[in-house]
Chains A and B, each alone.
Chain A
Amino acid sequence: MPQTLKEVDVVVIGVGFAGSILAKELAASGLKVVGLERGQARHTVPDFQAPAIHDELKYSVRKGMMQDVTREAMTFRNHHQEVALPMRQWEAFLPGTGLGGCGAHWNGQIWRYQIADFIYKSHLEKRYGKKFLDPDLRIQDWGVTYQELEPYYDRFEYLCGACGKAGNLNGKIEQGGNPLEAPRSREYPNPPSKEQYAGALFRKAASDLGYHPFLQPSANMTRPYTNPEGLTLSPCVYCGFCERYGCEHFAKASPQTVILPVLRKNPNFELRTESQVLRINLDNSGKKATGVNYMDAQGREFEQPASLVLLTAFALNDVRMLLLSGIGQPYDPVTEKGVVGRNYAYQTQSYVPAFLKEDIHLNSYMAAGASGTVIDDFSVDNFDHSALGFIGGCYILCGSTNARPIEFHPTPPGTPRWGRLWKDAVRRHYNHTAMFNLSGSSSASRWNYLDLDPTYRDAWGLPLLRMTFDFPDNDLRMSKYVTGKASEIARRMGAVIVVDEPRTGPFTTTAYQSTHNTGGAIIGSDPATSVVNRYCQTWDVPNVFVVGACNYPQNSSYNPTGTLGALIYWTADALKSRYLKNPGPLV
């Protein structure tokens, strides 16, 4: 029998960026908040300290900071007629776990989405007509606009000490920034990062071709910074161990550096780590959550009653928790009924390695997680698609987050995979290869979705999440076009060999692409096609809110965390200013 604990006002499931910011805001309002984190507590000191943290084998190859796959895996298939099998190790994407969540080991690439992203369906229909989309696509508007979210983007960027140069300040185009960005209400809190050599070469080539290069917005500090919570961060030293690693320097914005120390000082907040939530409990009506059941590291089960449940785990795990708890109707791709698991999308990544002359020493291992020079000319709908026959796009970035050698040792096409010729090629090209990274949009489609697996279970006996996904044909056409544009820039840079590697299908779980898994609990204006309303409140159970990249109806070209930060503060505001005064549906 589970032991029933004393009721609290709020229980938070997952203490990453979303969980810690929402908990901080609500605890500061006087509510009693319990944060349940399945992973371990971990802190800049001692857990992220060098030299031990600079261990490529442990953290990059063996995925030392990621979700424990031995206990909780996911199953996968490309098509819904196939039998899904477990991903027995993480390769394609890396769900986080532990205090700080993915925020502890992200790269700090902090982007905003475009105005068009939030009204994507309406925008595309208006610009290209109603028949432009491939019939399998399921594009939707968010139900919340960029203009509404702008103050909350701003708040998250100031929390994180975002480093960059505004390109569009209240509608006025600024030199040095991204002229194609949506208008921002004030300048970034910190100046942009130092530019890498590869980025400088790219900048010149891209400018020559008439594009608009700028330094990628970064949450790796460029100077000492004290955020509005009173926490101070140090400048990034470009160590080249960022994504998949914790930062030893207090230089990367993470829950550990920007919010947790404040949250944990508030006596209204209690953190319980190694606490695995099994389900959100509903009352007999099924319309009200009464709290959660969870199991601790000793295998003891507890019931934690709460008036309000905030689901803030990794995007995919949020969807699974809704399914395990019976909140919302599961999506069925055949009938297209149901909403939970609908519109799962990803990121359509592609690459262009540019092999340069041997006298160009790039030193790509000198890198921040958000290093890179980038153009936005081919993102989302920043270019005219009417003659192209697809929607979406990519930003094109040149630079490196690292050059850690187990995973980075590029060789030109035609090089054998092993032997003397391979070894010679690795030595020849290691420090002379500029990498282009294209971060591509991902269109929701009818057949890509998430549900519970009928066969495989986790260490607690609960069904694993099942992912059914392949790249929509639209996105492969998009990738081919934009990757070709990137290759032109690489040739302009004087590369000896340029490899045009657009994304091709089928999606495979065996090679890393991106951890930008989106959708499954999407935001919207219609309960028939969304799981949460515009305030991230579930339509079916008004005292359960879900805040994560699972809310995105489709994925844009950009890294999702900046937009998640905006949604977090937007939701916090709705909770504090409206919900707490009158608990119930906000729409």
Chain B
Amino acid sequence: MGDGPNSSSRRNFLRSGLIAISSVSLAGEAPALLANPRTETAPHFFNEPERKFLSAAVDCLIPPDERWPGAAEADVVNYIDLQMAGQWGKGELLYRHGPFRKGTPTQGYQLEYTPAELFRRSIAAINAHFSAQGTSFNQLPPAEKDAYLSSLEKGGIDLDGVPSNTFFDFLLKHTVEGFFSDPIYGGNKNKISWKMIGFPGAYSDYYDLIDKHGVELHREPLGIGDGAASHLMNAMRRGH
């Protein structure tokens, strides 16, 4: 279904505003993609040990495969870092008045911690756990990483006041957000997840296409940050 990145045919479609009906072979494009150098981004919130844990953990949750990069290469750690440094991480989008009490599962999140506090506290506990054994999470063999994350997911481990399943759910939620959200938030690098599933992004016009049932749409995804010109071109195709 998806087309590989950096395909010259896709760029041509974008330029001409045409749609490819046939699918394009994916073979041979993945290596170029995987070889793409990562752009290092400045850390805003997490320190180095925290980033090391996160880089390893998000790649267990969304691992790279033969065709598509995983969460780490999609810069999901950068996404989470920026989120934790911002309004959301600081709890500025949550009702934060007490008393804080343990609720029923149907009452939702009731811990006193902001998302940033929750991440920091939990990762510190995890890093301390491995450090006491003379190792670290990111040094574990892949199967052991997965097994450890599964144990967090299952619950019953106390991460310095945070139930491990609560932390795991937070980690998974933010990893999925960072993988799929618009690249302006620092993840989904090169719109890799959108290319993988075939989501065209922030386009605003399918008037002429919606009733062409069954067409395969191969189109370079358009992000919010792609500039007004790209969006204008999209709009002009229908004379808006």
Contacts and interface: CB of A to CB of B under 8 A. Distances in A.
A85 interface: yes
Interface in A396-430: 403-406, 409, 417-420, 422-424, 426-427, 430
Interface in B164-207: 172, 175-177, 180-182, 184-185, 193-194, 196-207
Given A366-B206, A430-B197, A360 B94 contact: no
B131 to A, nearest CB: 25
Interface stretch (A117-125, A259-267, A294-302, A507-515): A507-515
A235 interface: yes
Interface in B189-234: 193-194, 196-207, 209-211, 213-217, 222-224, 226, 228, 231
Contacts of A457: 97
17 contacts: A51-B224, A54-B202, A54-B204, A62-B93, A63-B93, A85-B101, A85-B110, A194-B210, A238-B207, A249-B204, A363-B206, A366-B206, A367-B210, A406-B181, A409-B180, A418-B61, A430-B199
Given A62-B88, A427-B1, A51 B231 contact: yes
A78 interface: yes
Main secondary structure of the interface of A (DSSP, over half): loop
Given A405-B199, A510-B105, 8 more contacts: A51-B202, A51-B226, A85-B103, A89-B95, A406-B180, A419-B60, A427-B197, A431-B1
Given A57-B181, A87-B95, A88-B94, A508 B224 contact: no
Contact of B2 (A69, A240, A427): A427
Nearest to B207: A237
Contacts of A83: 101
Interface stretch (A163-171, A195-203, A565-573): A195-203
Interface string B58-89: 00111101001010000000000000000010
A50 B204 contact: yes
A424 B66 CA distance: 11
Name B's interface SS: loop
A365 B200 contact: yes
A70 B92 contact: yes
B47 interface: no
A516 B88 CA distance: 27
A358 interface: yes
B41 interface: no
Contact of A200 (B62, B70, B109, B213): B213
Interface string A117-153: 0000000000000000000000000000000000000
A73 interface: yes
Contacts of A236: 207
Of the four ranges (under 10, 10 to 19, 20 to 34, 35 or more), the interface on chain A belongs to 35 or more
A361 B216 contact: yes
Contacts of A509: 106-108
A86 interface: yes
B94 A238 contact: no
Nearest to B197: A430
A175 B176 CA distance: 45
Nearest to A432: B1
Contacts of B103: 85
Contacts of B204: 50-51, 54, 237, 239, 241, 248-249
B96 interface: yes
Contact of B215 (A361, A367, A426, A508): A361
Contacts of A56: 180-182
B90 to A, nearest CB: 11
Interface string A73-88: 1001110001101111
Interface in A333-355: none
Contacts of B68: 423, 427
